[in-house]
Structure 1
Amino acid sequence: MASFQDTISTLDAIHPSQFSTDAERFEAKEAARRLLTRLETPFEQGWRLSFETPVLVAGVQTILDLGIWKKWMEADKKNPGAPVHLNQLLEWANTKAEPNLLRRFLRHIAALYVLEETDVDTWKPTPYSLSLGDTVSHTDQITKCGIDHTIPTGCNLPGFLKKYNYREPIDLTQLDNYRDMTNGTDFFATCAADPQGKGSSFMGLMTALRNHKMDWTDVYDTKRIVDGAAIETGKPLFVDIGGAHGLDTSRLLDKHPNLPADVLILQDTPEVVAMPIEDLDKRIVKQAYDFFTPQPQLHARAYFFHAVPHDWPDADCVRMFSQVAAVFKRGYSKLLIYEVVLPKKGATNLMTTLDLQLMNCTSGMERTEEHWARLLKEAGFRIAEISRHPRAVESVIEADLL
């Protein structure tokens, strides 16, 4: 029988490089989560959730605000894995900070393994801490969006549900936790009113999520869009509705790099469309559009929604899908929705987190296949096919007119 120290050594030796696929890594990570839950006492679990985590988030964000994570990431490129002393970290800060204030946060961050403590007042980075300084990954925006939106609304949610007799908040006009917290301003209005702050952190979170999740073009065979399509400059082929930074449109272009200009349309609100997008292919046309108003792109091959309908109650989804139905070319156009299709049993924690955060912030939800079928039928559509992938959180629903 292995000794206690052998067991600890075996656990400490497990590394992501050991796994042949990301699916295996994820399965091992979930096993480690189950192990942690078994090993923790009820007190330890409650303490981790309610006491360790809030001040960890506060520390991570404070160091982000000081600009230290970015400088650390840049220095690590020149000397990978090198320990850094507190004095150097203070020098990297973009404003003066008291040494012991920073030390206290770093101690906690290291105690929770976001950093590795190597000596007195000395720490090595981890992949996560380095990602906080890498603006391309947008990992930093996960923390910022949490502080701006999901953490305060999560604190408000129990009292909100109690006040309204534990009714499910599925009607944005009647039951909205975000409005309750802000005394009348909903999530999207808050983001629009502060595009460089709370709006930016939300857009950053969406980019981080899309970077993390499987590309929709690896779940759905995009030849079904291009093959047989009338591809002409100025005639819409693919309309990405609520497409934000255009990642999904860009991924379609990556699959079909010879598409001409002006056939790929990226639509979002005027505030989002006005934001500069680095490296967006000039062939992609940005267009300001409110998806509750008549769709200006007629007879496109595909009208695409990614992580948009789940923000809205059923009645609003029917309104947005009806605008697509009005410009659909029967037998040619496709409605594509890339979102979670909840299983009746065995939903992953990412699916359940998304579902509850949608309820928390927008009175939205993730839906089952049966729910999607009912919703689309009300808007005049039927599900033609659902493309799934074992490693994908979301599925691509393809719908046609009834």
Structure 2
Amino acid sequence: MAVSRIVQLAETIQSNTAKVDTHFTLQNLPSPSFDHDFPASLPEEIEQARNAIIDAADEITDLMQGSKELLEVPPALPSVLGLQLVNKFGVATSLAPDEQVSFAELAARCDLPVSDLRRIVRYCISRHIFKEPQMGFVAHTAASRTLATNEEIRDRVWLSCEQIWPAAAHLGDAIEKWRGSEEVNETGYNLAHNTELSFFGTMERNPEHERRFANVMRALKTAPDAAAPIKHLLSSFDWASVGTVVDVGGSHGALSIEIVRNYPSITCTVQDLPEVVAQGSRNIPGDVAERVKFMAHDFFKPQPVHGADVYFLGWILHDWSDKNAISILRSLIPALKNGAYVVLYEMSVPPPGILPFYKEKMIRAADLGLKALFNGKERDAEDWKQLFHDADPRFKFLGLSVAPGFPSAVIQTQWEQSSIAKSP
């Protein structure tokens, strides 16, 4: 008799949980709980077991809910409810890491009615964010303590809950109003915030907005779970053969710093908006300060640094529609010498059914989030190849290398100035 799917999933959870538990025991680590942080990094085998548990638990939850319950409560909604309000009103930062206070005291600190504060916090408690150690009093769990003490996490919550989520809620209206639009100011974001400015246009006028977004980008590029993809970035292109790199839209230079630390012969110029590069320049580590320089530049305008060996764009083009991504690539052309490389570090979406549903869901959600916010998009391998061809056939597509276990990819092209091709 065939084993049912739910039993298969339960066995996957059981066997991999045993592996994780054994690792924690042998390393004398506390077993995972809601009162302390999970380790930032795990050995590869244990990380694979952890991912298998999450994948199986996600699928078995959907199966055991059944279609009616799955449709009645959209999966993303519980993740946003409460957390958005907690971050907006500074609830976590109003509670010291090891403090326990009454709802009334915390409400006063947040300038909220007690009844509203209690409802918000008790909802979050059901998500293991905060706890109520005794009736009427609030204390931190590991999650709320992280929110209180980690500015990068607060900025990520701000981006997800206060920018992407409202935009996503208006995505259908935007598609209906501006059918087929590739414009950055014809999006769910514009409808949600009642503005004609794009997300990036708003950012240019709001330094705090700009700072928080740059902070999120730096955090994503340097997070512990980014270590394997970055290792792939460093090994899948022949960086040792080049000397000068222009990091286009490089924010605070996180990826350039990794490149020059691993390849001492390279110098990098990091380009971004004026305030972003000013902050990056102020915070550049001393060991790379001589080889990582910053320059204010709008990447829709002609590239001012001519003759570099590599023009590198890390997590840039997915923010833009095809029309705008092509414009960004074409803006490089006046500066390109024959044989120059254009290297992208981006997500490459695998064909449907390759990844477990949990990971597939995350990628597809990111794709729709980009659509809602910027009219951006995630692309698959053929999309990337076509994008370069449409920008100019003189971009010779050299291939795409996907990081093992991750959808992050290094995409390589080389400029063939002497080839016979029609200019755009």
Instruction: Report if TM-score (shorter chain) is over 0.5.
Output: yes
Mark the CA change 1:50 to 1:248 in structure 2 (over 3 Å): closer, same or farther: closer
Mark the CA change 1:319 to 1:113 in structure 2 (over 3 Å): closer, same or farther: same
Query: What is the Cα deviation at residue 61 of structure 1?
Result: 1.3
Q: Is 1:37 the counterpart of 2:62 in the alignment?
A: yes
Query: What is the Cα deviation at residue 360 of structure 1?
Result: 0.4
Secondary structure in 2 matching 1:275: helix
Match for residue 199 of structure 1 among 210, 214, 221: 210
Match for residue 133 of structure 1 among 138, 142, 148: 148
Q: Which moved more, 1:47-56 or 1:36-45?
A: 47-56
Q: Is 1:272 the counterpart of 2:285 in the alignment?
A: no
For structure 2, which runs of at least 5 residues remain unmatched after alignment?
1-9, 24-44, 417-424
Counterpart mapping for 1:51-200 below 5 A: 52-62=78-88, 64=90, 67-68=93-94, 71-72=96-97, 75=98, 84-87=99-102, 90=105, 99-122=114-137, 125-135=140-150, 138-164=152-178, 167-169=179-181, 171-172=182-183, 175-181=186-192, 182-196=194-208, 198-200=209-211
Q: Is 1:312 the counterpart of 2:316 in the alignment?
A: no
Query: What is the Cα deviation at residue 362 of structure 1?
Result: 0.7
Mark the CA change 1:120 to 1:217 in structure 2 (over 3 Å): closer, same or farther: same
Query: What is the Cα deviation at residue 220 of structure 1?
Result: 2.7
Query: What is the Cα deviation at residue 40 of structure 1?
Result: 2.2
Q: Is 1:23 the counterpart of 2:27 in the alignment?
A: no
Cα RMSD, aligned residues only: 3.2
Under a length normalisation based on structure 2, what TM-score does the superposition of the two structures give? 0.76
Mark the CA change 1:163 to 1:329 in structure 2 (over 3 Å): closer, same or farther: closer
Whether the aligned pair in 2 keeps the contact of 1:222 and 1:252 (CA below 8 Å) is no
The residue that corresponds to 1:369 in the other structure is 381
Partners of 1:97 and 1:345 in 2: CA distance: 46
For structure 1, which runs of at least 5 residues remain unmatched after alignment?
1-6, 76-83, 232-236
Mark the CA change 1:372 to 1:25 in structure 2 (over 3 Å): closer, same or farther: same
Match for residue 304 of structure 2 among 283, 286, 296: 296
Q: Which moved more, 1:391-400 or 1:127-136?
A: 127-136
Query: What is the Cα deviation at residue 175 of structure 1?
Result: 4.4
Whether the aligned pair in 1 keeps the contact of 2:281 and 2:294 (CA below 8 Å) is no
Query: What is the Cα deviation at residue 17 of structure 1?
Result: 4.5
Whether the aligned pair in 1 keeps the contact of 2:164 and 2:369 (CA below 8 Å) is yes
Secondary structure in 1 matching 2:414: strand
Secondary structure in 2 matching 1:339: strand
The residue that corresponds to 1:46 in the other structure is 72
Partners of 1:177 and 1:28 in 2: CA distance: 34
Partners of 2:338 and 2:94 in 1: CA distance: 55
Whether the aligned pair in 2 keeps the contact of 1:238 and 1:265 (CA below 8 Å) is yes
Partner amino acid for 2:337? K
Partner amino acid for 1:249? S
Mark the CA change 1:48 to 1:385 in structure 2 (over 3 Å): closer, same or farther: closer
Counterpart mapping for 1:255-266 below 5 A: 255-256=262-263, 258-259=264-265, 263-266=267-270
Mark the CA change 1:160 to 1:217 in structure 2 (over 3 Å): closer, same or farther: closer
Secondary structure in 1 matching 2:226: coil
Secondary structure in 1 matching 2:284: coil
Percentage identity across paired residues of the two chains:
20
Match for residue 392 of structure 1 among 403, 406, 409: 406
Match for residue 371 of structure 2 among 334, 355, 359: 359
